[in-house]
Amino acid sequence: MIKSCQQHGFPGRGTTILPCIQKSGNRILIFILFFFFMLPVNIVIAADESGGDNENHYSPGLKRGERLFYGLIEGKFQGNACGDCHNTMEIDTFNWNPNAWEIAHKYKDRSVEEFQKAVLNPTGRTMSVTHTSFNLNEAEVELIKKYLDHFEEQGLTKQKPIINKILLFLLLGALLTWIVLEVLFLKKVRRKWILGVLFIGALGWQIQLLLDAGIALGRQENYEPDQPIKFSHWVHVTDNHIDCNYCHHTVEHSKSAGIPETELCMNCHIIVREGTYSGRHEINKLVNAYENGDPIEWIRIHNLQDHVFFSHAQHVAVGKIECRTCHGPIENMHRVKQVTDLSMGWCINCHRDTEVQFFENDFYDKYEALHRAVKAGEIERVTAEQVGGTECSKCHY
């Protein structure tokens, strides 16, 4: 970094600047501020250039590869170009196609011939349809590979952070400060009631923001991360009619529903090697993981706090609760999303309303008083709450 600064004629930071501050006044200070403001930009450019020079990557071929990838060269793609299906930026929406980085990563250490074969003569069903319109020769595919090798180091482009609640909160804070200053010192606004309204409004909004944030702390409703493998419950449950219990086979006798072991996936995928939407790429990941003995690191979506005890067996096998009651229409999800906030209020509400298998399950024979009450017609049904389902130590211990 320092080296590149010196190349551009900037003085080293510690040596000359500090004495300057002592000698002269505001102008120097402004210069310094300006200098620091500019500094990161200079460094970034310098770093890019030097990196390019050293590794000999930033060549015209690479540039052409990039343009080919994005379909910027006329006549090469009739339909979608590579970049149209294989995103190079992080996206919120679900994309069945592997993103550019995944492809780049997969082919990084493989030969150009393999890549050429995969692009131009695909064997997979989806790819053989979409890739037919390509008008690329082998040299061009090689250039694309070159670009992808470069891209692999860079990674997906991060999305710029959107203006979030902190900024709003800080702005409101600034507004409040201004109102206080105005009232105490500046005294320019004549109609004081405007300030009053503004003050109450801004403060109220801030409090609302804090409350919302506080309540949502640790909750993640609508959480829908990308998984390492694009596993679709829709395809497996709705299209192929696989019972939930087949994969989540501990759900009826353990607290944990159980994420299926890779071996279980292979029961079917030893034969099924191509997906309806995903082609071969995703299933290949599974097969590779199984063959290499790497466990699959799924992203956990439904997270209860450590101090909550939850048992699937209790709810599914004993309480006869449907999966979708808590997990939503999971059979229609390509990518799993948390549909409930899993808050204690949500739990308790359900425990108040839900009937237990009071007459079917002999366990509840012990509750003699409740049985008497039902017989006498005092109550119609027995909810979880009535057998103690809303008490602390049923879930917290």
Partner 1 sequence: MEKYWRSLDEYKNGPDQRTEKVAEEEQKNLVLDLASDKVAGAKASRRDFLKLVGFSFATAAITSSCEKPVQKAIPYLIKPEEVTPGKASYYATSFFDGNEYCSVVAKVRDGRPIKIEANELSPVSGGGTSARVQASVLELYDQARLRAPGKGRNKSSWEEIDTLVKEQLRASSSGRKVLLSSTIISPTTKKIIRELQDKYPDLEWIVYDEVSVEFIRMAHEKIFGKAVIPGYHFDKADYVVSFDADFLGTWLAPVEFASGYAKKRDVSKDHPEMSKHIQFESGYSVTGSNADERFPVSPARSKAILVKLYNAVALRTGAAGLSGTACDFDVNAVAEGLLENQGSSIVISGTNDPDIQMMVAGINVMLGNYGSTLDLFRTLNIKQGNDRDFLELKKSLKEKDVSLLIMSNVNPVFSDPQGAEIGEAIGSNGLSVYIGSSYSETAKQCQYVAPDHHYLESWGDAEPVRGTFSLQQPTINPLYDTRSFQDSLLRWTGSDQTYYEEIRKYWKSALYPLSGSTGRFEDWWNEQLQKGVFMVNGNPVSYKDPNLSMIGPGNIPKEEGMSLTLYTSVGILDGRHANNPWLQELPDPVTKACWDNYLAISVADAGELELADEDVVEVNGLRVPVLIQPGQAKGTCSLALGYGRTVAGKVGDNVGVNAYGLVTAEGGFRRYTVQGITIGKTGKTYELARTQTHHSMEDRPIVRETTLDAYRRDPNSGNQFHLDAESHHDSLYPETEFDGYHWGLAIDLNKCVGCNNCVVSCIAENNIATVGKEEVKKHRIMHWLRIDRYYSEDVNNPKTYLQPVMCQHCDNAPCENVCPVAATMHSNEGLNQVAYARCIGTKYCINNCPYRVRRFNWFKYVNNDEFNFHLNEETSKLVLNPDVTVRSRGVVEKCSFCVQRIQEKKLEAKLEERSLEDGEIQPACVQSCPTGALVFGDLNNKESQVAELKENERNYHLLEQLHTLPSVGYLTKVRNAEGGDDEYHDHHTIDHS
Torsion of CA 244, 249, 254, 257, to 10 degrees: -40
Rounded-to-integer distance, Cα 229 and Cα 224, Å? 14
**Residue placing its CB nearer to partner 1 in the complex, 181 or 304:** 304
* Contact string (CB under 8 A) for partner 1, positions 297-336, x = contact: xxxx--x-xxx-x-x-xx--xx------------------
**Residue placing its CB nearer to partner 1 in the complex, 142 or 226:** 226
Rounded-to-integer distance, Cα 231 and Cα 301, Å? 14
Q: Which residue is associated with the tokens 């540039």?
A: 63
* Contact string (CB under 8 A) for partner 1, positions 335-374, x = contact: -------------------------xxxx-xxxxxx----
* Contact string (CB under 8 A) for partner 1, positions 150-169, x = contact: --------------xxx--x
Instruction: Considering only the C-alpha atoms of the chain, give the largest distance between any 2 of them, rounded to a whole number of Å.
Output: 96
With beta carbons less than 8 A apart as the criterion, state whether 340 and 304 touch.
Answer: no
Q: How far is the CB of 298 from partner 1 (least distance, A)?
A: 5
The b-or-e profile of 10-48 (16+ CB within 10 A means b, else e) is beeeeeebeeeeeeeeeeeeeeeeeeeeeeeebbeebee
393 binds partner 1 (CB under 8 A): yes
Total residues contacting partner 1 (rule CB under 8 A)?
65
Question: Which among 65-73, 190-198, 335-343, 387-395 is the span making contact with partner 1, rule CB under 8 A?
Answer: 387-395
Q: How far is the CB of 180 from partner 1 (least distance, A)?
A: 14
242 binds partner 1 (CB under 8 A): no
Which of 29, 89, 181, 216: binder of partner 1 (CB under 8 A)? 216
Q: How far is the CB of 100 from partner 1 (least distance, A)?
A: 22
Q: How far is the CB of 187 from partner 1 (least distance, A)?
A: 25
114 binds partner 1 (CB under 8 A): no
Q: Which residues, at least 6 apart from 115, have a Cβ–Cβ distance to it below 8 Å?
A: 107, 141, 142, 144, 145
56 binds partner 1 (CB under 8 A): no
Q: How far is the CB of 176 from partner 1 (least distance, A)?
A: 12
Q: Which residue is associated with the tokens 């692999």?
A: 152
Q: Which residue is associated with the tokens 């590979």?
A: 145
Tell me, rounded to whole angstroms, the distance of Cα 308 from its chain centroid. 24
294 binds partner 1 (CB under 8 A): yes
Query: What is the three-class DSSP state of 391?
Result: coil
Q: How far is the CB of 257 from partner 1 (least distance, A)?
A: 9
209-212 contacts at long range (C-beta below 8 A, 24 or more positions apart) = 209/165, 209/168, 209/169, 209/172, 210/169
Question: Which among 26-34, 190-198, 295-303, 346-354 is the span making contact with partner 1, rule CB under 8 A?
Answer: 295-303
Q: How far is the CB of 389 from partner 1 (least distance, A)?
A: 10
Which of 51, 196, 218, 329: binder of partner 1 (CB under 8 A)? 218
With beta carbons less than 8 A apart as the criterion, state whether 33 and 17 touch.
Answer: no
Rounded-to-integer distance, Cα 347 and Cα 385, Å? 11
Identity of the amino acid at 153: E
Q: Which 246-275 residues touch partner 1, going by CB under 8 A?
A: 250, 252-256, 258-264
* Chain positions contacting partner 1, by CB under 8 A: 164-166, 169, 209-210, 212-214, 216-218, 220, 225, 250, 252-256, 258-264, 289-290, 293-300, 303, 305-307, 309, 311, 313-314, 317-318, 360-363, 365-370, 387-388, 391-394, 396-397
